Structure 1
Amino acid sequence: MSNMDMVRGLQERAARALPAEHVRDVEGWRLGLAPSCSWWVGSVLPHGDAQPDDLARRVVGAEGFYAGHGKAARFQISPGACPEGLDTVLAERGYRRQSAVSLQVASVARVREQAAAGSLRVRLEERPTRAWFDIWRAVHADGGDARSEWDMLARVEPPTAYACAVIGDDVVAVGRTVADTGWAGVFSMATLPAARGKGAARAVLVALADWAGAHAAGRMYLQVERDNAPALRLYERTGFSELCGYHYRTAG
């Protein structure tokens, strides 16, 4: 499998793990609409091939879809996995470049090696609990509607696992994973500020890796913003490395 095919496959798995409320497939481009969720849930995944002279037509079609719902179009741009020239076409149409992201991968075995004596206790659930959701919201709430975020999680197809790292009786860090055709995606990592530096996030990752290994997933992937230095250090220490970088283009 080429890197391009792997990138496309992982990003399509990620889209299934972050399911939009409405999805339209147009000639291989996935148009997601999630009006009240975090913005990255509702974007265009433009993986279907397109000839250079056809790009503008297809961009205009996507713009019409989002305009019809009162939203601006936003495209996820992964070099090598999107049609050549798309980023340039969007820039020429006035789209802003935003949110540089690193797509990273690791073997489940490598992540599991990071377990250490005295690691924090981690609970795993099949569904998000209120305690799990409250920690995630406390760290990452960006104006998205809480009810819509709950609904998004309810749309995720199993098998899934929600992890809570606990100190005493208090949940201090969370994360979730979705197993999908041999891979386990890592999402929603969050640690309360007072618990940082105590191994909570690493304990969550190791617990998710243990679960992944038990659910026929030999490899893991995640997406992290490139300006999040603490998270990048954590993922490097636990065995992840970058497969590719990507960014978004937003209309207006």
Structure 2
Amino acid sequence: MNYLPLVRRLEAVGFRAWPASSVQYDGSWQVRLTAGHPSKRLNSIVPLDPADHRDVEIRLEKAQRKFEAYGRPLVVRETPLAPPLLMDLLRRENWQCFEETIVMVCDIAHLDLPDTLDHLPSHDVGRYVDANLLVDLADPALKPALAEVVSGIKPPSGLFVIEDAEAGPVATTLCVQDNDLAGIMSLSVAREFRRKGFAVEILAAALRWARTRSAKTAWLQVTATNAPALALYARFGFHEAYRYRYWRPENGA
């Protein structure tokens, strides 16, 4: 079965769901750069055609200069669409593969969602960003960049926050609905509130919202080593569509 059309579609909606501030094309290679935010998804080369392997050494050198101008390390994101000749070159030159992510999908049209407390999404970007940074224990200095990314999402999106009366935000996620596809982005639960049902609650709320807006399929991305998240998503019926990996030069930061 040829699954590359699905990969292409999920890659396209993924780009729209987490937009980089600068997107340039070198042939079919998408060069994504974002000066204010260090996310690898926002700062990487993403080749999108297995047959586009001309002058790979020259194109990597050209991309290197662009990454240096943005103060970012050179990173290649390898999906099933990456040219095999490019990946062979990276291995020969001792590039390091340093993270693997699983892209998962789920048919939500007839999914029996858990009976949990529902939450309506907010459209207050500032509130969501503040909550997400607190839940993730992230650097508050990232607020302007994260707000710019979230504000730049073009498809309809729902910003979900669960709060505790005393502790404040305890769980966050972002659901981006792109026609019949709904992307679950950045699902996080505060460390001290994990294993208390908040992940199930907020994921169910986001999927209900997407389904009421006629989404048929949900997708998400999760690090391959995140066993608790993988177990959660399997409980909801998510299954693997494909994987991608990040590569950096041997002397990369």
- TM-score if structure 1 supplies the norm length? 0.88
From 184, 187, 205, the equivalent of 1:186 is 184
Amino acid at match of 1:122: H
> Is 2:169 aligned against 1:171?
yes
The residue that corresponds to 1:98 in the other structure is 98
Identity of aligned residues (%): 25
Q: Deviations over 1:108-160 (max 9, x none)?
A: 235x51322xx234231134342x32332134355572211111111111301
The residue that corresponds to 1:33 in the other structure is 33
The residue that corresponds to 1:199 in the other structure is 197
Q: 1:139-158 residue pairs with structure 2 within 5 A?
A: 139-141=135-137, 143=139, 145-158=142-155
- Partner Cα distance (1:90, 1:226) in 2: 21
- Partner Cα distance (1:127, 1:14) in 2: 22
The residue that corresponds to 1:109 in the other structure is 109
Q: Deviations over 1:176-233 (max 9, x none)?
A: 1111132111101011123222221111111111121222320011000011111111
Over 3 Å counting, the alpha-carbon distance change for 1:51 and 1:151 in structure 2 is closer
Contact 2:17 2:155 in 1 (8 A): no
- Partner Cα distance (1:167, 1:67) in 2: 43
Amino acid at match of 1:153: V
Residue 49 of structure 1 and its aligned partner are, at CA, apart by 4.4
From 130, 137, 144, the equivalent of 1:134 is 130
Amino acid at match of 1:68: A
- Partner Cα distance (1:248, 1:42) in 2: 11
Amino acid at match of 1:154: S
Over 3 Å counting, the alpha-carbon distance change for 1:76 and 1:11 in structure 2 is same
> Is 2:215 aligned against 1:217?
yes
Residue 242 of structure 1 and its aligned partner are, at CA, apart by 0.7
The residue that corresponds to 2:156 in the other structure is 159
Query: Which piece of structure 1 moves more, 55-64 or 137-146?
Result: 137-146
- Partner Cα distance (2:35, 2:94) in 1: 22
The residue that corresponds to 1:77 in the other structure is 78
- Partner Cα distance (1:248, 1:124) in 2: 32
Over 3 Å counting, the alpha-carbon distance change for 1:32 and 1:53 in structure 2 is closer
Amino acid at match of 1:57: I
RMSD: 2.2
- TM-score if structure 2 supplies the norm length? 0.88
SS state of the match for residue 109, structure 1? coil
How many residue pairs get aligned? The number is 247
